[in-house]
Amino acid sequence: KGTRARAFARRLVERFDVRGLEAQGVATPTRSLSGGNMQKLILGRALTGEPALHDDDESSPHVPVLIIANQPTWGLDVGAVSAVHQRLLDAAAAGSAILLISEDLEEIFAIADSIAVMHAGRLSAARPSSQWRMAEIGAAMSGAEAGVANVETLGA
């Protein structure tokens, strides 16, 4: 497993530009990484889908059923943001459901197929992202949008 773990660390450096893993690889203490590089490491580990680290079947990559991405690009540089967005889109294309939690409207529109807005414990009805305008999302975020449903009633 040491060889596979080193290969995984190498892929994280290549795909997510995680600085600080080059020298020690997987032996690098995460506390020694910068905040941005730690964020990239966490995302890379979740999104890279390395079967060697999940099970013994190396024939196909691990594809998570659901990825909950809470502010996934916070603190990242522009290049890393683009890489994270692409990895999320790749995961969605491979069959993963993505629950994106973000205050960055550009990020939301770049990734989301449908958008629901939460305000004060209430969730607006989800609708395709093409049916939202940024001003409407702003209104929903402030609670001004009509048609906001209580979260507790949504799955009941």
CATH code of residue 38: 3.40.50.300
pLDDT, tens only, 94-127: 888 999 999 899 999 999 999 999 888 888 878 9
CA atoms of 76 and 81, how far apart (whole Å): 6
DSSP assigned state of 125: P
Is there a domain that residue 121 lies in? Answer: no
Domains in the chain, number: 1
Residue 24 resides in a domain: yes
Domain assignment present for residue 59? The answer is yes
Whether pTM > 0.75 for this model: the answer is no
CA angle, residues 57, 86, 70, in degrees to nearest 5: 90
Average pLDDT over residues 81-100: 88
What one-character-per-residue DSSP string does 34-57 give?
-HHHHHHHHHHHHHH--GGGT-S-
Domain containing 16: what range?
2-112
* Span 54-75, pLDDT tens digits: 444 555 556 678 889 999 998 8
